[in-house]
A and B are shown apart, each in its own frame.
Chain A
């Protein structure tokens, strides 16, 4: 294989954003007919790299070759024309249109007078669907398909062009086992045609089953490529985690208080099942798992945004029903949500107003908002959290990600909550702010807050947590104490490997 020209080659790709070096000289290649895994933790630079390949970002340095030809892509369309095809994790389908129309979106075969050539469209589509061996036909409305079948439509799209390289981004996230088998067959078929495949996944089991080589990214830089046959899960994990300077393990402290929150047998529709845990004052409880494991949904239930279908929530030992965020806030529960811009902030509002939003009813002088008291609160938390902004009048939308996150944290700290839930505290935040936020979470616990941290980043969860709940597919697989947890145990627990073996 190695004497041939790579299907796709990256050479020293660098991409910087203000304050962040997102990609720092990434080079690797994919041979024709090879399945090449790309691994790395969240935030390691995978998605930035994919956007560079897809023509959404332009690299600052470095070159991309498709075959022997240097390729400059300025749009997703151009990338596709050059033979680089993406199977996205988020579906981009028009639900009201048929399978065939979605597959040939923007490229419907034409007859004269701008008419659609339905016969040709159907024939071409059915030929592609036959390869995928799916149970629906060209005329089916996409909105009537299951999520997995919609994903198949997305994959079918990739087969319409002479693809040189196909990139699968977490393709199995929503697939059942049977559907995975079909997907792997499709990948094998592409391989046989000499297409180079980049396969992005967190799931070790799959990686070891179908890939030929594995490349690893960490902190935006390339950490090497290994042959899958010559390595094992442990070594790959080592490459991914590395030795992070600032992220030591949490030092356990034992000044724990009473149980602030206890959850017993909580279930919510098919989102999560039979979840039980407790958090004490002075403790940080980490929730670790893959995206979609049910962690965020638990937080949303505790914050009154979802009604549980079974189970109990006990606050300070009292059985409690939480029907709305307003009720949750009144009970002393606060949530720093995962989607900072969509859920955490009103971007068109200034920093001060954002920070005092949950308590604006209480900050009153007569019928009016006591703006002086608001400014005082803002100043207090600006200093405490070291928020860098020209002043409170600055719109939240104009701040950097780290400072935005601090505004959201400040918003909830100023409420003096009993239980603080932080969902993905450092997503999309530069390294400096990350460690500040980690330290802050530790500090809060030391001051007696009960804190729940949900994170998809292992170093983060290891760094801040006193205990770690590992979730897989809506269930708690195991709860670790900081003393007993190891990285591989954790990875195995959240990958759905049998918990008995792990223990």
Chain B
């Protein structure tokens, strides 16, 4: 076997093995400890799992592209909140009053557009100023959150549109609307990353930026497009979720960036960029949600989830490093 094959095989398969282990563990442990009567591997329970994975999962697909490209985006939670407010608020704007339910696609469009615009602003700043994406999006995480508050003060923004709620609560072929969105986004982003020139160039840039630059790949536009994509997906996630819930607090979406990054890193995407797979990110998203549900299922307090996920994230990082250690490594950083 060529060097590196084993470790990359392990890494690609690891997240699914982990999910399988979770399923087995919670099923067995559930038999002895369960506080509920239902079995863990219940169909409804699993369908719910997909549905609950959607908000984080949809954004995680965007974060995978961003991180493969060698950047990071901490502002997704704030973009999520802004888009939610735009969605719910624009449904009530008098200008659209004559549209009836025709307002729905308009409101969706506006919400998604604001996500794209905020993402584009991040991308533009990273590109044109050369400031690190971590700092740029750390700043806009604060700034965008400020915009959320400026929009409607500390009050929640609420509006229930029953057509929208029906749509969001619908099930098709047994799967919820938001599950379909998650699957659709996963497929679309997989296609983007694996089949388009843009996706392949994003890998090249994250993998070896100077080689990419020397080969004439324009780094800036690619980064900018990726920030627009993650902005779009953060907005889409909000649109799907708030169509159903109908009420957004100005603090909603806080810490989403942390959950999303955790899912992406669990899925094996390298922090330094260049490596990462959409399918594994999907696995990472499921693994986290499974862990949350499973721990509740066996009667563990919800608070334990945070503890376990945090430690698992660190353990994954440790294992990854051990697998990549070179024999004749030097004693330096």
Give the complex CA separation of A388 and B268 in angstroms.
50
Known: A92-B208, A106-B216, A114-B197. A271 touches B203 (CB 8 A): no
Interface size on A, residues (CB 8 A): 34
Contact (Cβ within 8 A) A115 B200: no
Beta-carbon nearest neighbor of B209 in chain A: A94
Q: Are A94 and B203 in contact (CB under 8 A)?
A: yes
Beta-carbon nearest neighbor of B274 in chain A: A96
Among B2, B8, B215, which residue has its beta carbon within 8 angstroms of that of A105?
Answer: B215
- Whether the Cβ atoms of A114 and B196 lie closer than 8 Å is yes
Measured between alpha carbons, how far is A324 from B330 in the docked complex, in Å?
A: 11
Give CA–CA (A116, B194) in the complex, Å: 9
- Please, how many angstroms separate the alpha-carbon atoms of A269 and B329 in the complex? 10
Which of B4, B5, B204 contacts A94, CB < 8 Å? B204
Minimum CB–CB distance for A120 against chain B, Å = 13
Tell me whether B197 and A115 are in contact (CB under 8 A): yes
Bound-state Cα–Cα, A270 to B332, Å: 19
Q: Which stretch from A142-150, A205-213, A239-247, A377-385 is at the chain B interface? A: A142-150
- State whether A94 touches B211 (Cβ < 8 A): yes
The residues of A that contact B5 with a CB separation of less than 8 Å are 144
Q: Which residues of chain A have C-beta atoms less than 8 A from B204's C-beta?
A: 94, 97, 101, 105-106
B100 proximal to A (CB < 8 A)? no
Which B residues lie within 8 Å of A306 (CB)? 328, 330-331
Residues of A within 8 Å of B197, CB to CB, are 108, 110, 114-116
Min CB gap B88→A, angstroms: 34
CB of B328 within 8 A of CB of A305, answer: no
Nearest chain-A residue to B332 (Cβ)?
A: A305
Contact present for B327 and A269 (CB under 8 Å): yes
Residues of chain B within 8 A (CB-CB) of A77 are 214-216
Contacts of B274 in A (CB 8 A): 94-96
| A361-409 interface (Cβ within 8 A of B) | none
Report the tally of A-B residue pairs with Cβ distances under 8 A: 86
Residue A107, interface by CB 8 Å = yes
Bound together, the chains give a CA A300 to CA B2 distance in angstroms of 28
B279 CB → nearest A CB, Å:
15
A313 to chain B, nearest CB (A): 16
A116-B197, A304-B331 are contacts. A145–B2 as well, Cβ < 8 Å?
A: yes
Q: Indicate if B210 sits at the interface (CB-CB under 8 A).
A: yes
- Residue of B195, B275, B330, B332 near A96 (CB, 8 A) is B275
Residues of A within 8 A of B327 (CB): 269
B172 CB → nearest A CB, Å: 28
Contacting residue for B207 out of A95, A106, A108, CB 8 A = A95
Question: Is A268 an interface residue when CB atoms closer than 8 A count as contact?
Answer: yes
Q: Are B330 and A305 in contact (CB under 8 A)?
A: yes
Question: Whole-angstrom distance from the CB of A91 to the nearest CB of chain B?
Answer: 9
Chain A 424-442 near chain B by CB (<8 Å), digits 1 or 0: 0000000000000000000
Residue A93 is within 8 A (CB to CB) of chain B in the complex? yes
Within the complex, what minimum Cβ distance (angstroms) separates B82 from chain A? 29
CB neighbours of A92 from chain B (8 A):
208, 210-211, 214
Give CA–CA (A206, B3) in the complex, Å: 29
Partner of B331, one of A96, A110, A143, A324: A324
Q: What's the minimum C-beta distance from B77 to chain A, rounded to whole angstroms?
A: 29
For the complex, is A292 an interface residue (Cβ under 8 Å from B)?
A: no
Which residues from B are CB-within-8-Å of A146? Answer: 2-3
Whether, in the assembled complex, B117 has its beta carbon less than 8 Å from a beta carbon of chain A, the answer is: no
Q: Is B217 an interface residue (CB 8 A)?
A: yes
Please, how many angstroms separate the alpha-carbon atoms of A96 and B5 in the complex? 12
Indicate if A67 sits at the interface (CB-CB under 8 A).
no
- How far is it, in angstroms, between the C-alpha of A271 and the C-alpha of B329 when the chains are bound? 11
Render B202-224 as a binary contact track against A, CB cut-off 8 A, 1 for contact.
Answer: 01100110111011110000000
Query: Whole-angstrom distance between the alpha carbons of A373 and B331 in the complex?
Result: 31
Query: Across the interface, which residues of B come within 8 angstroms of A105, CB to CB?
Result: 204, 211-212, 215, 217
| Residue ID in chain A nearest B328 by CB atoms | A269
Q: Assess A97 versus B214: contact at CB under 8 Å? Given A269-B328, A306-B331.
A: no
In angstroms, how far is the closest chain A Cβ from the Cβ of B29?
37
Does B208 contact A93, Cβ atoms closer than 8 Å? Answer: yes
Q: A110, A115, A145 — which one has the most chain B CB atoms within 10 A of its CB?
A: A115
A101 contacts B215, CB within 8 Å?
no
Residues of A within 8 A of B159 (CB): none
Interfacial chain A residues near B200, Cβ < 8 Å:
97, 101, 108, 116
A residues less than 8 Å from B332 (CB atoms):
305
> How distant is the Cα of A282 from the Cα of B328 in the complex, in angstroms?
33
- With A92-B214, A95-B208 as contacts: A114 and B331 at CB distance below 8 Å: no
Interface status of A496 (Cβ within 8 A of chain B): no
Neighbour of A143 across the interface among B4, B196, B198, CB < 8 A:
B4
Mark out the residues of chain A between 67 and 112 whose CB falls within 8 Å of any chain B CB in the assembled complex: 76-77, 92-97, 101, 105-108, 110
Q: Contact between A106 and B215 (Cβ–Cβ < 8 Å)?
A: yes
Residues of chain A contacted by B330 (CB below 8 angstroms): 300, 305-306
Q: Give the distance in Å from the alpha carbon of A76 to the alpha carbon of B8 in the complex.
A: 33
**Whole-angstrom distance from the CB of A175 to the nearest CB of chain B?**
17
A114 to B3, CA, bound (A): 33
Closest residue of chain B to A78 (Cβ to Cβ) is B216
A118 to B5, CA, bound (A): 23
Query: Would you list 15 pairs from A and B whose C-beta atoms are within 8 A, ordered by A residue?
Result: A77-B216, A92-B208, A93-B208, A94-B207, A96-B203, A97-B200, A106-B217, A107-B215, A116-B197, A116-B200, A118-B195, A144-B8, A305-B331, A306-B331, A325-B331
| Beyond known contacts A107-B215, A114-B196, A144-B4: 17 more, CB 8 A cutoff | A77-B215, A94-B203, A94-B212, A97-B200, A97-B207, A105-B212, A106-B201, A106-B204, A106-B215, A106-B216, A108-B200, A108-B201, A114-B197, A115-B196, A143-B4, A143-B8, A300-B330
The 4 closest A-B pairs by CB, nearest first: A106-B215, A94-B207, A92-B211, A105-B215
Residues of A within 8 A of B (CB): 76-77, 92-97, 101, 105-108, 110, 113-116, 118, 141, 143-146, 268-271, 300, 304-306, 324-325
